[in-house]
Structure 1
Amino acid sequence: MGYTIRAVRAEDWALAKELRLDALQDPVAAIAFLETHEQAVAQPDEFWQGRTATAAEGTTVRQFIAEDGAGRWLGTVTVLVELPGVVDYFGYTPEVAQTHVVGVFVRPEARGTGLAQALFDAALAWSWALPEPHVERARLYVHEHNARAQALYEKAGFKRTGNTVEAAAGREFEYAVERS
């Protein structure tokens, strides 16, 4: 399966919206994402335009996508910059600059092809290349019952840290990879 990994562009907002809505209909979406399909579909186009434009700028957030030769998006990952001393969504305050990997989704027909690893490679390369802040680690959260995602993240080099948070769908495990 051929694909290209690239960062989103502001004009990609309709494709970003389409892929996100598809991700939120995945059978494990209820434990994999913090928003529902109903919440996302209710957002106006301006929301998707702004979200995609911010991710395209690549200063505090960057979204990567995998695109096949016909231009169909096969998967995505988004990376958020987290600064030391700034409280995150879960009430955690990082001690070092880090990135937070979110919104991981690969279409079923592209799973098991190496595409997810390529998306993670792009996300981590971006994280480590940031001139400011100097990122020391990348992390993500995964639901305790999402074994498929846990296996994927471990294969990509993330290790369970022992930290957990409670989310609406239940307990989430933190996984991280340290800058080498």
Structure 2
Amino acid sequence: MGHLIRTVRADEWRRVRELRLAALRDPAAGVAFLETYERAAARPDAYWKDRTASAAARDGAMLQFVAEGPDGAWAGSVTALVEEPGTPTLLGAPIDRRQAHLVGVYVRPEARGTGLTEDLFDAAVTWAFAPDGAAAERVRLFVHQDNPRAEAFYRRYGFTRSGQHAPVPDDPAAREYEMVLDRETP
């Protein structure tokens, strides 16, 4: 497909907003994201500008990667959040090591099954483990108990369940399972 995987730029907030709203309209959004379309669509431009500026700053606590096609259209995205040791979590115990947390994983339906998700993950995971990137010891993400397609991809990529889980905020009977990928040591 010839997609360029790159980080967002601060001035691309409208495109970040459009892709996020498309993700939240996806049929799987209910088990993939903790935000609704209605909440996101109601957010003011200032929110999207701040969010995009933060996700574009290579020295910040997060970095958003996008897949840009030859025509300039964005086909997908993933964001890596840096989490420092001692940060409290929904899992109870604070984080015990520097890690990157992947969130907002989305690939447009027409680009699924093309290897684009792998390409996005390659970029995010490489940055997460790189000494001049996040310098993380591991990468983690959460997957909803009712999202087997996403979990299957994460397993193929190398993530494993950590044994930890958390209730879904708007549905405490449902669970989000933590999956982790540890940095390989030489």
TM-score, structure 1 length as denominator? 0.95
Question: How big is the alpha-carbon RMSD for the aligned residues of Structure 1 and Structure 2?
Answer: 1.4
SS in 2 for 1:94: coil
1:38-77 equivalences under 5 Å are 38-58=38-58, 59-77=60-78
SS in 2 for 1:24: helix
SS in 2 for 1:80: strand
Equivalent residue number for residue 161 of structure 1: 162
Deviation at 1:156, TM superposition (A): 1.4
Distance in 2 separating the partners of 1:160 and 1:48: 32
Instruction: Note the residue ranges of structure 1 that are not aligned, 5 or more in a row.
Output: none
The CA deviation string for residues 56-112 of structure 1, in whole angstroms up to 9 with x for no partner, is 002210000001001100000000000110113565511001010000000000000
Cα distance, 1:67–1:131 mapped onto 2, change above 3 Å: closer
Distance in 1 separating the partners of 2:116 and 2:153: 11
Cα distance, 1:54–1:150 mapped onto 2, change above 3 Å: same
SS in 1 for 2:25: coil
Equivalent residue number for residue 176 of structure 1: 180
Equivalent residue number for residue 115 of structure 1: 116
Report the count of equivalent residues: 180
Q: Contact between 1:82 and 1:88, CA under 8 Å: does it hold in 2?
A: no
Instruction: Note the residue ranges of structure 2 that are not aligned, 5 or more in a row.
Output: none
Q: Contact between 1:3 and 1:68, CA under 8 Å: does it hold in 2?
A: yes
1:7 paired to 2:10: no
Q: Contact between 2:100 and 2:138, CA under 8 Å: does it hold in 1?
A: yes
Equivalent residue number for residue 141 of structure 1: 142
Runs of 4+ in 1 over 4 A off after TM superposition: 89-92, 130-133
Equivalent residue number for residue 79 of structure 2: 78
1:125 paired to 2:129: no
| Greater Cα shift, 30-39 or 168-177 | 168-177
Q: Contact between 1:16 and 1:48, CA under 8 Å: does it hold in 2?
A: yes
Aligned letter for 1:20?
Answer: R
Q: Contact between 2:165 and 2:176, CA under 8 Å: does it hold in 1?
A: yes
Distance in 1 separating the partners of 2:89 and 2:165: 14
Distance in 2 separating the partners of 1:11 and 1:88: 31
Aligned letter for 1:126?
Answer: W
TM-score, structure 2 length as denominator? 0.92
